[in-house]
Amino acid sequence: MHSRDQTIFALSSGRPPSAIAVVRVSGPQAGLALTTLAGKLPAPRQAGRRLLCDGAGQPIDDAVVLWFPGPGSATGEDIAEFHIHGGRAVLSALLAAISSIPNTRAAEPGEFTRRALENGKLDLTEAEGLDDLIHADTDRQRRQALRQLQGLLGDRARDWRERIIEASALIEAGIDFSDEGDVPAELRAPAVKAIKALHDEIAKVVAAQGHSERLREGLVVAIAGEPNVGKSTLINQLARREVAIVSPHAGTTRDVIEVQLDLDGYPVTVIDTAGIRETNDPVEQEGVRRARARAEDADLVLWLVEAEQAVDPEAMRPLRKSGGGDRPAGSVWIVRNKIDLGEAGSSGPTGEFAISARRGDGIPALIDALVKFASEFFGSSEGAVVTRARQRDLLSRASDSLRRSLELVEEGEELAAEELRAAAYALGRLLGRVDVEDVLGAIFQKFCIGK
């Protein structure tokens, strides 16, 4: 990693050309960069119009500049912002002028956010929420990411960690300072009560069912079946544009085609796979292999057959398995395509769908069913606290350590205290803040020890 003493800069808006481009500079040389290029600093957090000039005095652009002195800035450091016209030549000249300032370099990916984390402007869960917000494709993803950015999990984790430290202070005070008159003799009972309450709260969050973590990646739906049953036509119909080549010739799709859809705010990736059949063509064999692999890993499979065609259980057998086990009931749907006009929009036996991918008949009913499946799959994400596997793993570790501390407290306070330290460490990792002085600080402050 580069030294944090260096000043970093980067384009923080979209790629040129654009109407306006925003270049941010963060670090100890940000003020010098602003005065060198703009002549003087504007008032803090107030926009000022300046003629930007390079080191040789040559004009670069008529721009708007802003000054955010640290620590009251997004990164906690001095920040300068240049709002310039978004042409490539203007941007190139500005970046060259900034890079000529000593101890200044181009930023690495995510480095502004990392500095904000290191300077206490946000915790790791909020940084993850910011990343999710930037990459959100649907409204539900946006709302979930914004809740994390606003501290949905981070605030609770900080509260849990503080309460663990307080309980640990009680336990450790009983170990190390039992002969001090200022320390209450009975510390174990309130500590156990606090630990049990903490364990129950965290365990409830960990045990909450749902696929809130998956909302970030989205639901994967595979369209599979034998060749020339209309898979590509169906994916084009769902995407409302031609994303796959449609032809009457078997074996047209040789690879896996993916389309990202927004179904009522749920992110859904629909994959169109090569027709599954026996073939001697090595290229088509590879396409069939990839098709099976993707379909087997999908959350939902739409097995497409022609209207009057009998379903071959043997061909579908691999799709009944997922990750080495049986798929949940209802995760493989039979979709009968090319129905007669008189049957359009009706459903087949036992919940099968009947459609005409070419005409669009039955497609609205299929989409409604997909939305319902997505809703049930993701569960109620509005109150979701955990949105990443990393978060769930660390919360599970904290919960397990709290449980073990309750089991060990009768055997020895030292063992219970060690488990409490492990729980606090797990939450510290969750937040991106792990230190070793918290427990001693709590003990000295609350029990007047250290005289």
- What are the pLDDT digits (tens) for 277-297? 455 555 555 656 665 666 677
| C-alpha to C-alpha distance for 405 and 415, rounded to whole angstroms | 7
**Residues 348-366, mean pLDDT to the nearest whole number:** 79
Query: What is the pLDDT averaged over residues 56-73?
Result: 94
Q: Model confidence over 105-116: pLDDT tens digits?
A: 998 888 888 888
* Residue 361 pLDDT greater than 70, yes or no: yes
Band (pLDDT 50/70/90 cuts) for residue 45 is: very high
Predicted local confidence at residue 363, as pLDDT: 87
The band of 243, judged by pLDDT with boundaries at 50, 70 and 90, is low
Under the banding of pLDDT at 50, 70 and 90, the label for residue 415 is confident
- Give the pLDDT score at 50: 94
The answer to whether 213 touches 389, Cβ cutoff 8 Å, is yes
Using the predicted structure, report yes or no on whether residue 150 has a pLDDT greater than 90.
no
Please give the pLDDT value at position 170.
Answer: 83
Helices 124-134 and 413-431: crossing angle in degrees, nearest 10, is 30
For 183, the token pair is 């320390």
* Whole-number pLDDT of residue 31: 94
SS3 286: helix
Contact 37, 60 (CB under 8 A): yes
Question: Residue 36 contacts by C-beta under 8 Å, 6 or more apart in sequence?
Answer: 55, 97, 101
Res 180: pLDDT: 54
If you average pLDDT over every residue of the chain, what do you get?
78
Provide the pLDDT for residue 26: 95
pLDDT score at 321: 55
Is the model's pLDDT at 340 over the cut of 60? no
Residue 380, pLDDT score: 59
pLDDT of 449 higher than 50: no
| Minimum mean pLDDT range among 101-110, 166-175, 375-384, 426-435 | 375-384
Q: Which helix (H) or strand (E) holds 11?
A: strand 7-11
pLDDT attached to residue 436 = 34
Decide: residue 3, CB within 10 A, 0-12 exposed, 13-18 middle, 19+ buried.
exposed
Task: Write down the pLDDT at residue 343.
Answer: 47
What is the average per-residue pLDDT within 330-350? 63
Q: Are 63 and 50 in contact (CB under 8 A)?
A: yes
pLDDT score of 325: 53
Distances (CA, A) of 334 to 201, 249, 310, 374: 42, 22, 11, 17
pLDDT band at 211 (very low <50, low <70, confident <90, very high): low
pLDDT given for residue 383 in this prediction: 57
For the ranges 54-68, 130-144, 235-249, 376-390, the lowest mean pLDDT is seen at 235-249
Helix (H, G, I), strand (E, B) or coil at 53: strand
- Choose the weakest-confidence range: 44-53, 107-116, 118-127, 333-342: 333-342
Q: Which helix H or strand E contains 306, and what residues bound it?
A: strand 300-306
State mean pLDDT over 121-129: 83
**Across 179-204, average pLDDT:** 77
Residues 6+ apart with CB under 8 A from 216: 132, 135, 141, 144, 387, 388
Q: Which of 178, 10, 157 is nearest to 80 (CA)?
A: 10
Q: What is the pLDDT of residue 236?
A: 84
Q: Which residues contact 393 (CB under 8 A, 6 or more apart)?
A: none
